Chains A and B, each alone.
Chain A
Amino acid sequence: MTDTKPVLEARGIVKIFGQHRALDTVDFTANAGEVHALLGENGAGKSTLIKILTGAYQPEAGELLLDGQPIHLRDPLHGQTYGIGTVYQEVNLLPNRSVSENLFLGRQPTRFGMVDHKRIDALARDLLSRYGLDVDVRAELSEYSVAVQQIVAIARAVELSGKVLVLDEPTASLDRNEVQRLFDVVRGLKAKGLAIIFITHFLDQVFELADRVTILRNGRKVATQALDTLNTTDVVRMMLGKDVAFDHHPTALTGGPKGAVRVAFKGLSRKGLSPFDLAVHEGEVVGVAGLLGSGRTEVARLMFGVDPSDGGQITVDGQPVSIRNPAQAVAAGFGFCPEDRKLDGIFGDLSVRENIIIALQAKLGWLKALNRDDQVELAGRYAEALDIRAADHDMPVKLLSGGNQQKVILARWLAIDPSFLILDEPTRGIDVGAHAEIVRTINRLREEGLALFVISSELDEVVAYSNRIVVMRDREMVAELDGDAIASDAIVQAIAGTATEARP
């Protein structure tokens, strides 16, 4: 912070996709030795700006200056040669190569024309030790946690470039300790004089780590300000353009009359998961709390038939059903928004419209094709209802932002007129605005009589929409909180194993 020399400057950047102005005369400056946070809602233009700064996109207008000199970036590789490196949310390294290979890929030291593995490994160990990382560099990258992979990616990016480091949602899939570890690394790099551009949707992290913040909204820059002059409400107001405080406290959720039992699971079990009983009522949200690896995703997969059960019964509206695969689950009126949107959720190359109607089409069978008018109508109706922001519904869904993609998947399940909806981390990797919308949608669906089973690692969020909360620990449902018992503290205690077990 002592050094405020601008390193990377963008002036008057304009980027147009089709009819849509993704960025409209945006200025941005990253100084040496600062962490500059970039904030904005879905579709505000954050990733577009980043892609321009790193060379992945070329702007229609405006210029980039590096150390005061204008530069023209052809592609990210070219950006790298100027010292601009990027680490994305989804680490894009090679998971099945060793840590050291990932660090030095493309510039391996060679000996007699052969890759010198010994030297690479030594260099890699040395490099990572500077990041406080002591791992077996010969092991495959995929064997390590996302946090370690993230640090490896940072180390690689810094090695390759070393002037500007762009961190695109680096903490999205990290736990608290890992986040701190990552922040230590970032602070170290900042002290070395790197300009760090930090994109996240965790406001508390912004305040913890960043020096300045630039806020984008609808492709325009709202403000660039030092963070010590701001508070959270200011930032949210600037991002959303209205006073939307995220409501953490449930109102009148508890104690209301429950509807009839919609789905009941009795003694459902699978190897590695304790058998469980659970009934979800009409108009009820059962929230699931638990740490990663507590078995919460496994329960969801079991319910939906992704993994077949070893035993137990499932009834829907009192009728026994057999669910051995997702197709049967869909036939029974179940819907499932999986945790990994990109891998298990969206069909990237298919259109928004097709992504919305696909589950209904699968349920109807291949012979009963929804014609184009039906598809357009359905997609239009649910896109409208969930406020999916897409230029048109024939564009590939992969071009939408994460939040909009999540809404598309939600729309897909609403389209089958579901009786029971399973949501696994529905708000992960989504910015504040869309986050709030999805929480509102969950509440609305509950009010309209749907039975929901929602997994989230954000306690405040679970508390905000759940009628009941199931706590999982060590692949077992260890507690069930109902009514007044629902509170963050109680959940934390249950997760930690200090509360009296509420379930038999």
Chain B
Amino acid sequence: MKLASDRALWIFAAAALALPIIADGNKFLAFVLGMTYISLLWATGMNLMYGFVGLMPLMFAGVAGIAGYAVVHLTREFGWSFWLAMPVATVMAALAGVALGLPSLRLKGFYFTLCSLVIQTVLTLAFIFFPTYTNGDTGINQIAPPDWFGGQLKGLGLELMIALFTVVGILLCAWIVRSPLGQRFVAIREDDILAEAIGIRVVRCKIIAFFIVSLYAGVGGCFYSVYIGFVSPRAFDVLVSMNIWLFVAFGGRGTIAGPIIGTAILAPIPFLLQELQAFKDILSGVLIIVVTLLMPGGIYGAWLARRRRTQKAMTDSARVQESRV
């Protein structure tokens, strides 16, 4: 069983790395694919927090925004290489994420979610009202692609790099989830008081989770800004957090495959709706409600539950036949 899911994971990794090469002929398709990969990286991070630790961090996009703006600032004003600026910006964002999230870790459920929403709002306002770093509501455009041995990394090369980071992110998430740390996360999700009672340091685990998740947000934010070449407060507002959350919840929280399925289905939609961005808001609003009311396990969760039922039914009928014989 475990071997099978491992094999599926490696097949997925190979396919994910091969897809940009196949899609390279069509510029539009390649771009949608690149954006989907960035969303997938974000969704994987969100899933680690929402699916495994059981907290809903709505400031996710804000943390990504810190990294996105920081990487632009470091490469433009200080002339740093992107490959030096990215880790620095990511760690900065992660530290900021932990610092912002630290006080809220005592809170649970709704109060944590509300607190993270407030932090996200403060971050969005900060992006708008500190134009020295962010150029306010206008945003920063014409961000240069990452440098690459004297030249620039763009087009297929950049897409492959994003795909690589996304695949590594997913494999890393799968590894964390199976590690003792991941088991502690699940214990906290199921019952944090019980987890505390059996000796798990809940707050420390949550801080570690926060840090890891903010790293995912940060790397995604860095690649977002250089891939699109334009950042504005809109790119990192609460709707983006909700969207990433929807990818995870729609696909299936707490599984590795769930966010992949959810992102693959939902992330390309806004690009197909080009002129009709408002419809995207309505659609994702409807999906959020449908997922919450009708399929809390998401698509993959529903499929797993169904498979379990049919398997159980099969073994039952087999047992009946045996007893007849």
Binding between chains A and B: no
Which of B's residues lie within 8 Å of A, judged by CB? none
